[in-house]
Every structure is written in C-alpha cells, then in structure tokens.
Amino acid sequence: MNTILKVSLLSTILMVFQLSLANTASAAWHLDNEGSSLSFVSIKNGTLVESHTFGSLTGSVKNDGAAEIQIDLTSTNTGIPIRDERMSAMLFETTLYPKATIKAKIDLKSILALENGRYLSVNLDAKLILHGVELPIELNLQVMRVSSGSFLVQSKKPVVINASSFGLEKGVEALRVIAGLSTITLGVPVSFSLIFHN
C-alpha cells in the first residue's frame, strides 16, 4: 500500500470516527411544544392566587443525557394582554433577557430501558439561567416511557423560584405599584409537564 493510499485511508477512518462522535452527542429527543406545558403561580395581596403559562417552549435531550429547555419569556400568558406586556417589559426585561434556560444531565439509558407505561422517580440537580443569573435548582421528577418514540417528564412537586435570587425584585415591585396591589409574593411555584419525541 503506497503512502498516498495510506493517508487517504487514515483520513477516511478519522472522518467516520468524528461523525460517529458527533452523532453520539447530537440531540436524539426533541421537546413537543404543543404537548408540553409550564406554569407558574403568582400570589397577590396574600390570598389572590393566579396561574399563568408560557406558550413557547423548546428543548432537547442528547444521546449523552445532556438536557436543555428554553422558555420564551415573551410568550407569557396570564389571560390579560396588558399584563402579559407588563410582565415581559417590566419584570423579565425581555429586550435584554428574552429566554430562560434549564440545563441538566439525565440518565437517559434508565429511561429508555423502561417498558411503555412504566415510570421512574428522579431527583435531579439542574441549573436555571434567568435574567442573566445562573443558579442551581433541584427538580423532583416523574419520568414515564410513553412509547418507543416518546417519554414524559413531569414535576412531582412545584419548584419554588425566588424572584429576588434572580434580580427580579425591582420588576415585581414595579408590577405591584402599577397594578395597585399591597403585595406580590416573591416566591413563585413553577410546575411543568414535558413530552419528548425522537
């Protein structure tokens, strides 16, 4: 085998190996926005409790278990358009911080080993990036294998996000003043139900 042929063969082998590594790390599972939901609760004047949602979620889980969910903060849905606009502009400051991101590493093999209809309870350390601040959060999840091509991830209990931890307290105060409220609680319970397809 001449030198040129050897180099060519080696280059081909290296290319195949690199493609194999790329495929291994590629996103194998994608979030179904239509079938998924994420909601948060606001508590005003001590007793007024309202539930709100975000309409646009994207995300993926790679073959190596790296998971990322992005929440479009401009898609806030409180049922009142002017309030949606105020939350977007005054609270989340979406011109500067349009998205919130959750990152985690999951044991994908354990999930895919489940039979259809079976589930796992998972305590997961994750990171939340919101309003330019990145902090650890703990997620208590129930993960169910729905079919050969999909699985469902649900919060077993709400994740309580403290607005002040992410520098959102000034925005909360601005909303309180403009709405004429006596208080808005800074602790915000968040729940979700996410479905992924491959």
Span 73-84, pLDDT tens digits: 999 999 999 999
Per the model's pLDDT, the better-predicted residue between 5 and 128 turns out to be: 128
pLDDT at 119: 94
Domain annotation for the chain: domains and CATH numbers? 26-197 (2.40.128.110)
Q: String of b and e for 78-107 (b: at least 16 CB within 10 Å)?
A: beeeebbebbbebbbbbeebebbebebebe
Q: 90-140: per-residue pLDDT in tens?
A: 999 999 999 999 999 999 999 999 999 999 999 999 999 999 999 999 999
Asked whether the predicted pLDDT for residue 71 surpasses 80, the reply is yes
Asked whether the predicted pLDDT for residue 47 surpasses 50, the reply is yes
Q: What's the mean pLDDT when you consider all of the chain?
A: 90
And the tokens for 190?
């968040």
Reduced to 3 states (helix: H, G, I; strand: E, B; else coil), residue 172 is: helix
Asked whether the predicted pLDDT for residue 17 surpasses 80, the reply is no
Q: What is the mean pLDDT of residues 150-174?
A: 97
Say if CB 57 and CB 72 are below 8 A apart.
yes
Q: What is the mean pLDDT of residues 2-20?
A: 47
Reported as a pLDDT band with limits 50, 70 and 90, residue 185 is very high
Per the model's pLDDT, the better-predicted residue between 15 and 162 turns out to be: 162
Asked whether the predicted pLDDT for residue 15 surpasses 80, the reply is no
Distance CA 175, CA 63 (A): 42
Q: How many CB atoms lie within 10 A of CB 6?
A: 10
